[in-house]
Structure 1
Amino acid sequence: MTAQSVDRARLVQALGRRSIVLVGIMGCGKSTVGKRLAHRLGLEFVDADSEIERAANMTVSEIFAEHGEDYFRSGEERVIARLLREGPQVLATGGGAFMSEATRAAITEQGLSIWLKVDLETAMARVRRRATRPLLQNPDPEMTMRKLLAEREPVYARAAMTVRSRDVPHEAVVDQIVLTLADHLLQDVGGAISKTSNS
């Protein structure tokens, strides 16, 4: 089966009111891939960080600087919980969002989580292009990223599905997500069983 042969209307129908929620470390491609995935499936794309900035009338960096990370995380939980009630959509979350137990529970109940798994080198090459990452504003951003990956990957691994975000055209990653979703949500006529959310 190819991504092009997947019945997208059937896929969206199987999704129902749930959102496709992209999780993973900064630089894994949640926003860029998410926009293309939403376009492919005819769904709305929503970026949780942008929604947080709109609600606070401040940038993420400003919220971190003025109020600290705990304040930001608390607002993030509330915004994501609200967004999940507005599905179906493709929702890109911030790198730390899935670390919240409350957010993971809300995503499990009202969404389908996909971990975009990326290696350190690819993530660093991407985040270096943007100097606005609050958690990387220090003398050794690579060490910080290494530490964040070590802390977060075991939690990201609890996502319903995992797709590798490689250094390839974004459309290739979108193809892989579509195939993974089809495998998870649809049953072949041949009787292949779609994966359970514990896969």
Structure 2
Amino acid sequence: MISQPIFLVGPMGAGKSTIGKLLAAQLGLPFADSDKVIEDRSGADIPWIFDVEGEAGFRRRESAVLHDLCGGESQVVATGGGIVLMPENRALLKNHGFVVYLRASLDQLVERTSKNSNRPLLQVADPRAKLQEILLQREPFYDEVADLVCDTDDCTPKQAAQMVVDRLTAISSG
């Protein structure tokens, strides 16, 4: 179907990791989560990296991992929500894979992230306002790199994965 990596982009809470695992299983492809790769390589979790190295240090690690994941192997890759912030990352995504933007409304993102304390950028007094700020900043970049946009608001992760498969099938047969 697609002979290059399929990168899932979108804000935290869009479902990249959950949908990515289901999508990989449906397509019979390996799955990688860039945040998990960073944690495995560094021996530390994302909040610790943010605490010690700051967001800039984390973004450097994220870019290095993305570069390695662009190696050409067909796989499904869930990326971190901020991977699109650096122009070189957007170029890598566009030139070395098929990019699916998993889009969700602010209300859905707030609901989906409210129970997870493992999100350093949301450890603020008003997580909703922070999510809105993040969306305003990043949405143009998600749109810029996307080969395909899928709205995930009104569907389960399984339905979202099937929607991506159906659209990929239509693209590759069209």
What TM-score, normalized to structure 2?
0.96
Q: Contact 1:107–1:113 (CA<8 Å) still a contact in 2?
A: yes
Residues 32-63 of structure 1 show CA distances to partners (whole Å, capped at 9, x for unaligned) of 00000000000011000000011111111000
CA–CA distance in structure 2, aligned partners of residues 117 and 87 of structure 1: 25
Q: Contact 2:72–2:96 (CA<8 Å) still a contact in 1?
A: no
Q: Are positions 1:121 and 2:132 aligned together?
A: no
Q: Are positions 1:180 and 2:170 aligned together?
A: no
CA–CA distance in structure 1, aligned partners of residues 58 and 160 of structure 2: 30
| Offset of residue 86 of structure 1 | 5.3
- Please name the residue that 1:74 is paired with: 60
Structure 1 unmatched ranges of 5 or more: 1-10, 188-199
Q: Are positions 1:140 and 2:130 aligned together?
A: no
- Please name the residue that 1:55 is paired with: 41
Sequence identity, in percent? 35
| Offset of residue 131 of structure 1 | 0.9
Q: Are positions 1:152 and 2:152 aligned together?
A: no
Q: Secondary structure at the match of 1:94?
A: coil
Greater relative contact order (Cα < 8 A, sep 6+): 2
Structure 2 unmatched ranges of 5 or more: none
Write 1 or 2 for the structure with the bigger share of helix: 2
CA–CA distance in structure 1, aligned partners of residues 72 and 41 of structure 2: 16
What TM-score, normalized to structure 1?
0.84
- Please name the residue that 1:195 is paired with: none
Q: Secondary structure at the match of 1:114?
A: strand
CA–CA distance in structure 2, aligned partners of residues 146 and 51 of structure 1: 27
- Please name the residue that 1:171 is paired with: 158
RMSD of equivalent CA atoms: 1.1
Q: Contact 1:163–1:176 (CA<8 Å) still a contact in 2?
A: yes
